[in-house]
Amino acid sequence: MSQDGRSARAKNIYDEAHKNLVNSAIELFNNPDIPNEKINLTLIAKEAGTSVATAYNHFPENLIDVFGSIFNIAFEKIVEAVTEFNNVNPDPHDQLKAYLEIQTSVCIEVGNAVREAFYQFREILISDKWIKGEPYTFLLGICNDYAEKYKDVDAKALTDDIFVFWNGNIYLWMRYNPEFEIWSKFNDEWLVSEMSKIVDKALSVSYTHLTLPTKA
């Protein structure tokens, strides 16, 4: 086997081990029988069926690395699904809605693990563990395509409005708690419903003179 072949194989082994550890962390954070404060690299390594040394090799900065990896793997899944959708559906209005639907679906799938990751957002940014290929930039790309088709739209303003609405909804969803009346309504179903309204809501805020695209 060539040097390049060995390097590629080693990278594949590393990447698979990394995904296994991240998925194990996600499982643990979504286990209602395990308090979040009890989750550490030792427990994650045990769940993944690997050594603690291997876990520290992948996450040298402990749980901050884990949370950063949760964000990155989740966003990779989002980009893959959105790109697949966009390849068969060129309409930018549909693409915007699909992006938000897919992003919401992945957040719900990752569940409590992504909630915990968002709580560590500031530390993740400071430690440079945030998502490679910033989600805002990805969204701006779709909004640029939207602005090319609908000439009266300012892509940057549209991106900002969607970004604000999305983060506001996520903030409330993060605080969902069935034991408190105020927070009990911000469940997964609520999030799906609210996220489905964002594109039209963002357009109506800044572009009330526009006729929004409709389906036949």
Residues 205 and 134 in one domain: yes
Q: How many domains does the chain have?
A: 2
Residues 112 and 192 in one domain: yes
Last residue of a domain, one of 60, 86, 107: 60
Residues 41 and 7 in one domain: yes
Token pair for residue 51?
Answer: 């050594």
Residues 131 and 161 in one domain: yes
Residues 94 and 200 in one domain: yes
31 touches 43 (CB < 8 A): no
Q: Which residue in this structure is represented by tokens 């009990």?
A: 184
Residues 95 and 195 in one domain: yes
The separation between CA 118 and the C-alpha centre of its own chain, rounded to angstroms, equals 10
Q: CA–CA separation, 100 vs 116, rounded Å?
A: 21
Q: What is the pLDDT of residues 17-71, one digit of tens each?
A: 999 999 999 999 999 999 999 999 999 999 999 999 999 999 999 999 999 999 9
Cβ-proximal residues to 158 (8 Å cutoff; 6+ apart), any chain: 143, 146, 147, 202, 203, 206, 207
DSSP secondary structure, 156-193, as one string: HHHHHHHHHHHHHHHHHHHT--TTSHHHHT-SHHHHHH
What per-residue confidence (pLDDT) applies to 61? Answer: 92
Residues 157 and 135 in one domain: yes
Residues 205 and 121 in one domain: yes
Confidence class of residue 212 from pLDDT cuts 50, 70 and 90? low
Cβ-proximal residues to 94 (8 Å cutoff; 6+ apart), any chain: none
Element (H, E) at 149: helix 135-149
149 touches 158 (CB < 8 A): no
Residues 148 and 66 in one domain: yes
DSSP one-letter code for 20: H
Confidence class of residue 128 from pLDDT cuts 50, 70 and 90? confident
**In terms of residue numbers, what domain contains 68?**
62-216
Q: What is the pLDDT of residues 152-193, one digit of tens each?
A: 889 999 999 999 999 999 999 999 999 999 999 999 999 999
Residues 125 and 198 in one domain: yes
Last residue of a domain, one of 60, 79, 108: 60
Print the SS3 string covering 61-128: CCHHHHHHHHHHHHHHHHHHHHHHHHHHCCCHHHHHHHHHHHHHHHHHHHCHHHHHHHHCHHHHHHCC
Q: Answer whether 0.95 is exceeded by the pTM.
A: no
